[in-house]
Structure 1
Amino acid sequence: MKDYFYTISKGGEGFYKEKGSKFIGLAFRVHNEDEVKEKLEEVKKQFHDARHHCYAYFLSKDKLRANDDGEPNHSAGDPILGQIKSKNLTQVLVVVVRYFGGTKLGVSGLINAYKTAAFESLEASKLLKVTIEAIYEIQYGYEITNEVMKLIADFAADIKNQEFTENCNAILGIKQSLQEKFEEEASKIDGLKFDINNALHDD
C-alpha cells in the first residue's frame, strides 16, 4: 500500500498541428466527477467553435474514463488516457480540443495527434506529490503524556493541531500504511481516546 500518489498542482497547455488541424491539450487537477464536468463545460465554452473536445480522466483505479467525442473509436480518448497513465498521475483530467483543418488524418494520425497534445500539456504541468494520511483526533489526560508522545514519535505522526485544556487534544496525520498498527498500539494505552477521519495531505 503506497502512502502517496502524484498529481498536478498547476495544469499546463500543449499544442500539436497536423495537415491544418490544430490540437490544443489542456491539463487540470480534478478531485471528483463533478469537477470533471465543470472543467469540461468551461473548455467547451472557451473553445465553442472547435470540432471536437476529446478527453480522459483518472481519479482512481475504479474511476477513469476516455471519451472520443465523435472521433473514430479509441483514436482520441484512449491515447489521452494512456499519457496520464504513463506518467502515473491521479486526479487528472486532460482535454484535447481539435480544430479540423479540412484533411482527414486517419486513425493512426489521430492517435499520434491526441497523444502528442496530451503529452505536451502534462509536460507543461507542475507535478505534486500527495501523501495519503489517516487523520485521527485524540484525547488524553496529562498523566499519560509521555506514553502518547512516544506513540507519536514511533509513528512519525504529523501533529496538525494541539490544545491543552482540562485534557490534551490533538489532531494527527498517520501514513495510510501504518494505520492498522497505529490503532493497535494506541488501544494499548489506557485513557487514550481516538477517532478517525480520512484525508489527503498535499506536500
Structure 2
Amino acid sequence: MRENYKTIGELTECEIIIQKSRFIGYAKRAETEKEALEFIESIKAKHRSANHNCSAYLIGEHDSIQKANDDGEPSGTAGFPMLEVLKKQGLKDTVVVVTRYFGGIKLGGGGLIRAYGKATTEAIAASGVVERRLHFLMKVTIDYNWLGKMENEVRNSDYPLKDIQYTDGVALLIYVPRDKKDDFTGWINEMTNGQAMIESLESEFLEFKIG
C-alpha cells in the first residue's frame, strides 16, 4: 500500500516575465496519465496563440510514468528541467505546464533551462504542496454514559473526528494515522476501562498543507 506522499494542492495560475517573455505556469494533481494529458491539452487550448506550451508529469507511487515535452523549444531546455523540479521537490501524481509568449529576446539554452525551472517552481509554490497521509478510519462504539468524556478527549487530541452516530449505543468515527493504530487502541481502552468496541473500517488519505 502507498505510503504518505507529497503532491499539489489547488490549481493556480502563476506568471513571471523574463527578458520580455511571459511564462505562465500551472501545476495540478493528476492520478492517471489520461488526467495529465487532458490537462495539458486544456492549457494548450486556452493558449492557442502562445509560442510554446511545455509540460512534464510524474504519475504513480514509484514514478513509473514520467514524461517531458519541450513543445518546440530546443531539446532539453524546457520539459526536462521542469521534470527535474518535480523530482527535487519529491512530488507525486503531478503535472505542470508552462506557457511561453516570446518577447523578442532569445534566452539561450541556459537561460531557457533557468526560466522554465523558475516558472515551474513558482507554479508549485502558488498552488501549494500538500502531504497525503494514510489514516485508518476507526469506529469506536460505547455506551452513552462515556460520550461526554470521550468526545471531549478526542476533540482535544490529534485524532480527527469524522462523525458521531447515535443508535442503541453511540459510535465515534475517528481518523487514526497508520502508525498510531496500536497507540490509539490502548488510549481508548484505558479511557473506557476496556468497555469500548473498536473496529477498523477502511483506509483513507487525509491532506495536510505543507509550509
Report the residue type matching 1:27 in the other structure. Answer: Y
CA distance in 1, matches of 2:111, 2:129: 32
Partner of 1:197: 203
Q: Give the 3 Å change call, closer, same or farther, for CA 97–162 of structure 1 in structure 2.
A: same
The answer to whether the 8 A contact 1:12-1:122 is kept is no
Q: Give the 3 Å change call, closer, same or farther, for CA 100–126 of structure 1 in structure 2.
A: closer
The answer to whether the 8 A contact 1:136-1:171 is kept is yes
The answer to whether the 8 A contact 1:8-1:92 is kept is no
Tell me the alpha carbon deviations over residues 67-99 of structure 1, each in whole angstroms, 9 at most, x when there is no partner.
Answer: 123434432112112333444545543211234
Q: Which moved more, 1:81-90 or 1:106-115?
A: 81-90
Structure 1 residue 174 displacement after superposition: 1.2
User: What is the count of residue pairs matched by the alignment?
Assistant: 199
Report the residue type matching 2:68 in the other structure. Answer: N
The answer to whether the 8 A contact 2:8-2:27 is kept is no
Structure 2 unmatched runs, 5+: none
Structure 1 residue 161 displacement after superposition: 0.3
Partner of 2:66: 65
Partner of 1:127: 128
Structure 1 residue 53 displacement after superposition: 1.5
Q: Give the 3 Å change call, closer, same or farther, for CA 163–6 of structure 1 in structure 2.
A: same
Equivalence map 1:35-184=2 (5 Å): 35-58=35-58, 62-63=62-63, 65-68=66-69, 69-100=71-102, 105-123=107-125, 125-130=126-131, 132-142=133-143, 145=146, 149=150, 156-179=158-181, 182=184
CA distance in 2, matches of 1:5, 1:116: 20
Structure 1 residue 58 displacement after superposition: 4.1
Report the residue type matching 1:127 in the other structure. Answer: G
Q: Give the 3 Å change call, closer, same or farther, for CA 141–47 of structure 1 in structure 2.
A: same
CA distance in 2, matches of 1:101, 1:49: 13
Report the residue type matching 1:57 in the other structure. Answer: Y
Partner of 2:24: 25
Instruction: Please give the secondary structure, in 2, of the residue aligned with 1:49.
Output: coil
What's the % identity of the aligned pairs? 22
Structure 1 residue 184 displacement after superposition: 8.4
Q: Give the 3 Å change call, closer, same or farther, for CA 57–179 of structure 1 in structure 2.
A: farther
Q: Which moved more, 1:128-137 or 1:71-80?
A: 128-137
Structure 1 unmatched runs, 5+: none
CA distance in 2, matches of 1:177, 1:58: 27
The answer to whether the 8 A contact 1:155-1:182 is kept is no
Structure 1 residue 135 displacement after superposition: 3.7
Structure 1 residue 155 displacement after superposition: 7.5
TM-score (norm 2): 0.68
CA distance in 2, matches of 1:158, 1:81: 35
Q: Give the 3 Å change call, closer, same or farther, for CA 157–120 of structure 1 in structure 2.
A: closer
> Pairwise CA RMSD of aligned residues?
4.1
Q: Give the 3 Å change call, closer, same or farther, for CA 29–70 of structure 1 in structure 2.
A: same
